[in-house]
Amino acid sequence: MKTKYIYIMGSVSGVGKTTLCEGLLSQLLSDGYQSEQLAYIKPMTQCIEKQAVTVFCENKNIAHQSIGSLVFNKGFTKDFIDGLTKSPDRLLKDILMEISHISENKQIVIIDGIGGPSTGSVVGVSNVDIALALAAPVIFIGKPGIGAAIDDTVLAVNFMQQRGVKYIALVFNKIDRSELVSVKHYLSKRLAELLPNVYILDFIANNRQINSQIKHHSAAKICQWFNSQVFN
């Protein structure tokens, strides 16, 4: 059995990556996967506080690792540049060993990225480096708005495509409810011109129902995309 990976990246920290990871796990359980067939891992992090997705995995008996081997503690980047840490090859090897370990006998593993696609490049281990090593499709969560959201998304997607990421899909999160229709119209129109081979899966309003919306609506769309476009 070959494990399938889903890598979640975002435009910035706090855009909703971890919430989406929880939503995907919930949807996969609803789709008939058993807890022992799934896993969640965050291989790189700055935040060491317990997240909701960790509690979800504990409650559902899903294998998980919320703090991986690469923790960007204060001063880590300076130490790396000064040659006081592990080499990029060693850092990446350790991460891939952790992912391999948690992936044993799993059908789908959700990987929770840190920041954007290039985050970690300073130490030679970016989100994209890990995704490429696993041949993982990527869900990129874009910021709200129109102009800045388009510019940021194009930059991120171009970087991923130039590095060799094959499958990329987009979700735009935390959009003001009053602007949802307008944002959806203009982003869909312009990104279809700028990124014609990239799927836009959903636009999510910033409101009290955001967690429910991500867990059910967006997660279902993402699973459908993977099944039809990626995992065929």
Burial profile 37-64: b = 16 or more Cβ within 10 angstroms, e = fewer:
bbbbbbbbbeeeeebebbebbeeeebbb
52-89: per-residue pLDDT in tens?
A: 889 999 999 999 998 888 998 889 999 999 999 999 99
Which pTM was predicted? Answer: 0.89
157-204: per-residue pLDDT in tens?
A: 999 999 999 999 999 988 888 999 999 999 999 999 999 989 998 888
Give me the domains of the chain, ranges plus CATH numbers: 8-230 (3.40.50.300)
